[in-house]
Structure 1
Amino acid sequence: MSFDRLSSLEAQPTTMRRDDDPQYRDDPGFDHLAESLSDQIFSLTSNTTRLSSQIALLGTKRDTERVRERVHKLLEETRAGFKEAGEGLKKIQTWEDVNPSQKWTQQKLSSEFKANLDEFQTVQRRALEKQRASAVAARTAIEDGEHPSGDADVQLQEQQLLEQPRLANQGEVDFQETLIIEREEEIRNIEQSVGELNELFRDVAHIVGEQGGQLDIISENVQNVTQDTRGANVELRSASRYQKNARNKACCLFVILAVILLIIVLAIVLG
């Protein structure tokens, strides 16, 4: 291939080649789904962070009924969000005719989702441990005829008990029993959620594992293309130098021949 031909190929507009190559065609459906999943994962990350900070308050002096309501709400909202995002992730993983760039997007979304789901499961287990400890302490206090501590309402009742007989009346006991039942119900909900999300975690881990092999191949191909491109660039520069040297030698030879021809002509004329 001549250098003029090579220059003409390099000068062709990139958009023309991308339109002709299916690898670079736009896919609005894929892009929209990928963007939506990215936003969902970001929201889930924020929820998990807020949830972790609220769970840290359980069992402390700052533990109130409002804190427990926020924990419950965040748990429910984040669980539903992970299930919805999981369905979207499975859909994007089975997208047909994806190009290398889209495969990288699939892997990135899968890895981020898996990492966030793992973090949420850890936070859920921490909440489960706190709820169990609180329920056990409350049950023990009821059996001992005392009021459990931890909530602001319970602490208020303890102050009232200082001015009343030590024995709690039946209404207060029923109230504490209701709180314990609610906490035990929340414990069952968390346990069920952990199990359901474990299945989703295994599915995503399997997808990430399958993609890992494909991406290794893509990465190797990219590296090979990069090395080939660098080698071609070196060869083109070498060829350019050789062509320049050849031109210089041709010019020198032409000058020498011209001088010899001039000497011969002068010799003939003068002779």
Structure 2
Amino acid sequence: MSFDQLSSLESGRRGSPSFSDDPDFQRLSQDLRNKLFKLSGNNQRLKGELGHLGTRRDTPRVRERVHELLEESRGLFKDVGEGIKKVQTWDDVTPTQKLTQQKLSREFQSSLATFQDLQRQALERQKASVSAARAAVDVESGASPSAESSAQLLELQQQQELERLAPQDEVDFQEALIIEREEEIRNIEQGVGDLNVLFQQVAQIVGEQGEQIDTIAYNAQNVQTDTRAADLELRSAARYQRNARSKACCLLLILAVILTIILLAIFLG
């Protein structure tokens, strides 16, 4: 049985009077919709900023915006995730509220999946940036490059056309940037892990709600089947009762005729 059919059955059981949704549920749902809309916009902005990383448009300001968007979105996703869990476990929901539950959970899971993909892209580009910076520092400090970074080093040498060793303060500055980016890499990795846990929790709750809906639908279908069977039995009983009544009337009529004949015979004899 589909969800629409289940909603129709439950609406029928509720009767003709209209029911209004819980105001608290409405407020929470609207707040979640607003945050999900903002998260959708953040995903679009983050996608655009990530497209600049590793290109000529890659600047400290771009990396700062990427960091801010990642931090803001992580916090919002955690807030929305807690709200989604609360909405999914709401007591005594109406069919309309059930539809709201499903829509919010779908939008949350879709938006979070997109954000997780963007976080992984940011992680990959940050790691590539750190590897390239490490290779540059190795060259500037006179260290021999490793086999893994030789290709990146060659490309970096061709692009920058290094002709002399950089001053020590430049090397120190690059080292500080590398440490900062490595810290950002750790933050992104932790954020990916935390949101994966949140995604699994919400998915589990949604799955449990789906099982409950399936159980309700199954029970409602059984009730409908039992009701139809009972109706058939009642119709059969009524038909048998009518037949029995007709037979009884016929017997009474025959007895009356016989009795009349007997009485006439007695009076006439």
- Which TM-score band (shorter chain)? 0.5 to 0.7
- 2:33 aligns with 38
Structure 1 runs, 4 residues or longer, greater than 6 Å off = 217-222
Query: 1:69-218 residue pairs with structure 2 within 5 A?
Result: 69-145=64-140, 166-216=164-214
The whole-number CA distance in structure 1 between the counterparts of 2:172 and 2:56 is: 24
Structure 1 position 193, deviation (Å): 0.4
Instruction: Please state if 1:62 is matched with 2:62.
Output: no
Structure 1 position 49, deviation (Å): 1.1
Instruction: Report the AA paired with residue 18 of structure 1.
Output: P
- 1:25 aligns with 20
Stretches of structure 1 that go unaligned for 5 or more consecutive residues are 1-15, 147-154, 226-271
Structure 1 position 100, deviation (Å): 1.6
Instruction: Report the AA paired with residue 206 of structure 1.
Output: Q
The whole-number CA distance in structure 2 between the counterparts of 1:18 and 1:27 is: 16
TM-score by structure 2 length? Answer: 0.65
The whole-number CA distance in structure 2 between the counterparts of 1:35 and 1:18 is: 25
Structure 1 position 217, deviation (Å): 6.3
Say whether the 8 Å CA contact 1:100–1:218 is kept in structure 2.
no
Q: Deviations over 1:239-271 (max 9, x none)?
A: xxxxxxxxxxxxxxxxxxxxxxxxxxxxxxxxx
The whole-number CA distance in structure 2 between the counterparts of 1:31 and 1:216 is: 25
Q: Deviations over 1:200-246 (max 9, x none)?
A: 01011112222333445677869x99xxxxxxxxxxxxxxxxxxxxx
Say whether the 8 Å CA contact 1:51–1:123 is kept in structure 2.
yes
- 1:51 aligns with 46
Q: Deviations over 1:15-63 (max 9, x none)?
A: x9425xxxx2331110110111011111101101110110111001111
Same amino acid, percent of matched pairs: 57
With a CA cutoff of 8 Å and minimum separation of 6, indicate the structure with the bigger relative contact order. 2
Query: 1:3-22 residue pairs with structure 2 within 5 A?
Result: 17-18=16-17
The whole-number CA distance in structure 2 between the counterparts of 1:44 and 1:216 is: 31
Q: Secondary structure at the match of 1:144?
A: helix
The whole-number CA distance in structure 2 between the counterparts of 1:216 and 1:101 is: 17
The whole-number CA distance in structure 2 between the counterparts of 1:139 and 1:26 is: 59
Q: 1:35 to 1:77 in 2, by over 3 A?
A: same
The whole-number CA distance in structure 2 between the counterparts of 1:100 and 1:217 is: 15
Q: Secondary structure at the match of 1:18?
A: coil
Q: 1:51 to 1:218 in 2, by over 3 A?
A: farther
Q: 1:199 to 1:138 in 2, by over 3 A?
A: same
Stretches of structure 2 that go unaligned for 5 or more consecutive residues are 1-14, 142-155, 225-269
Q: Deviations over 1:78-130 (max 9, x none)?
A: 00000111111111122111112111111111111011111100000000000
